[in-house]
Amino acid sequence: MRTSSSSTRAASLASKAEAAYLGLAIGDALGATVEFMTPREIRAQFKLHRDLTGGGWLKLKAGQVTDDTTMTLALGEAILARGGRVEALACAQAFDAWMRAKPIDIGNTVRRNLIAFRKSGVPEAPPSEHDAGNGAAMRVLPVALATFGQSEAAVRMAVLAQAHVTHHNADSDAACLLLTRLVQDALAGASLRELYRQHIRPFVAAYPQFAYRPRRRENPSGWVVETLQAVLQALLDTGSFEECLIDVVNRGGDADTTGAIAGMLAGALYGLEAIPRRWLKALDPTIRAACRRQAHALLPA
């Protein structure tokens, strides 16, 4: 039987998990409008891009999301179908089914390695120095929730099981593991200062290629190093969910993915109350409902 304090902690955890999921989808939808634009182009067209208006190169409806969110949801369903376990084959099969359903967008590395899986049946892509894109990092959230409270070894195994289906690369691995730790500690109540001290600072010391100072990372590409540089700068240089997302998407480049990852982290850090109502209202209602359901279902009982 849960005590009052344990019930309060569980409710807070579930609320932050929901905020992380909704943050991911909102950041994706917000950033998709300005994906592949430069900061100068964004300023010329919007002055400051701050609303879920749709459009962009994909010609989206307002509040519509891209592969960042839909692939994350596909992974979440695969984990739930296996009773909360993260299994490489189930992940690969879910991603393959997702691709067969013709998503609105799909990364080249994801496409290539899923086609290879169809032919071989092997759910792990071969190691490649060229597969350092952000396609595995953008979808770590379901694993972070499903493995919450588990040992570091178990979390690592689960994170890499899903990542290696499409991205078997050391930089991608490092980014996925960091993001998972940040989400889990933020869900547990860590402050931004604690996240920096316990994870971000030692991570950059161990992987100096990810150093995000002193130059502002603008127009980040799909390379996971540039993605993380932009996300970490936006997270550390702002003080709210809204400021963080507006900062990162107005850098342009691969803005749907930087927006999704920043939204996931900022949601876990700042919680549901920090998400602007106008963004929640504008988000595709089907996606909004799916995010809320998975957020609660994936957390261990």
List, for residues 227-241, the tens digit of each pLDDT value. Answer: 999 999 999 999 999
CA distance 130 to 146: 29
- Rounded (10°) angle between helices 152-163 and 88-100: 30
pLDDT tens digits along 30-81:
999 999 999 999 999 999 999 999 999 999 999 999 999 999 999 999 999 9
Query: What is the CB neighbour count within 10 angstroms for residue 7?
Result: 11
Q: What is the pLDDT of residue 278?
A: 98
Contact assessment for residue 139 and residue 71, using Cβ atoms and an 8 Å cutoff: yes
Q: Is the peptide bond before 214 cis (omega within 30 degrees of 0)?
A: yes
Q: Is residue 133 classed as helix, strand or coil in its secondary structure?
A: strand
Using alpha carbons, list the distances in angstroms from residue 164 to 88, 122, 167, 274: 8, 11, 5, 34
pLDDT category of residue 7 using cuts at 50, 70 and 90: confident
pLDDT tens digits along 241-299:
999 999 999 999 999 999 999 999 999 999 999 999 999 999 999 999 999 999 999 99
Query: What is the CB neighbour count within 10 angstroms for residue 155?
Result: 21
pLDDT category of residue 3 using cuts at 50, 70 and 90: low
Answering whether pTM is above 0.75, one says: yes
pLDDT category of residue 10 using cuts at 50, 70 and 90: confident
CA distance 169 to 114: 16
Q: Is the dihedral of CA 256, 261, 265, 267 positive or negative?
A: positive
Q: What is the pLDDT of residue 9?
A: 81
Query: What is the CB neighbour count within 10 angstroms for residue 293?
Result: 15
CA distance 176 to 162: 10
Contact assessment for residue 50 and residue 78, using Cβ atoms and an 8 Å cutoff: no
pLDDT tens digits along 185-210:
999 999 999 999 999 999 999 999 99
Which amino acid is present at 160? Answer: L
Bridge partner list, 55: 60
Q: What is the pLDDT of residue 249?
A: 98
Q: Percentage of residues in the chain with pLDDT exceeding 70?
A: 98
What values do phi and psi take at 60, rounded to 5? -80, 155
pLDDT category of residue 4 using cuts at 50, 70 and 90: low
Mean pLDDT confidence for 107-127: 96
CA distance 249 to 41: 12
Q: What is the pLDDT of residue 8?
A: 78
Is the predicted pLDDT of residue 20 greater than 80, yes or no?
Answer: yes
Q: What is the pLDDT of residue 218?
A: 96
Q: Percentage of residues in the chain with pLDDT exceeding 90?
A: 96
